Amino acid sequence: MAIFEGILSQHMAVHIAAMNVLAPCVVLALPRRAVQLAGTEGVGLALATVLQVALLWTWHIPAMLGAALQTPSLMLALHGSLFAAALWFWAAVTRGIRQGEWSSMAALLVTGKLFCLLGVLLTFSPRAIYWQLTLLQSCFGTQAAPLVDQQLAGLLMLVACPVVFVGAAIVAARRWLQSARLVHGWRPYPELE
């Protein structure tokens, strides 16, 4: 018995692993110079953030995801474009964190909220949004009902995304505060010194 018996929950588990685990790990393994190419002064970060969110939401429009689930080349384009956007996003975030820029925190929190919003829609929808899955699941003989599968996919997003994005934003905030202290001589409690 598989942990994720439905097509959508399997799909979402792959997305989460690729975009929120593999992509940041690849970026952290890259040389520092390669990460610097992600963009300058927040412009690259803003574009990477917009692209990643736009691709995620576009690919998860019911008609788009339904078409991708039925066409292997389109599914490959879906996974490839989301992974490439995630690599760019995490490279830009990492560059910003290393330079102590506050924009990394903002990008992480905005992206995390919009990813979670998709998870909320999937989890709390009163009906299956992806009607095409009913056909596919009956063809492949999976046990999960489309609504249950959709809710599990949403729950996966609701658990994974805040952990990753808020965790990274905490690291960014710590680095930003350290940078503010070193560069500007800022002290949080000067009266205690």
For 50-106, the pLDDT digits (tens) are: 999 999 999 999 999 888 888 899 999 999 999 999 999 999 999 888 888 888 999
Nearest residue to 145 via CA among 9, 2, 1, 3: 9
**Residue extents of the structural domains in the chain:** 8-26+49-180
- DSSP of 160-186, one letter per residue? HHHHHHHHHHHHHHHHHHHHHHHHH--
Contacts of 135 (CB under 8 A, 6+ apart): none
- In the block, residue with structure tokens 């924009």: 103
**Is the pTM above the cut of 0.85?**
no
Can you tell me the distance from the alpha carbon of 43 to that of 32, in angstroms, rounded to the nearest whole number?
Answer: 18
Q: What does R_g of the chain's alpha carbons equal in angstroms? A: 19
Predicted local confidence at residue 37, as pLDDT = 65
The average confidence (pLDDT) of the chain is 84
Predicted local confidence at residue 165, as pLDDT = 93
Low-confidence ranges of the chain (pLDDT < 50): 1
Can you tell me the distance from the alpha carbon of 27 to that of 49, in angstroms, rounded to the nearest whole number?
Answer: 16
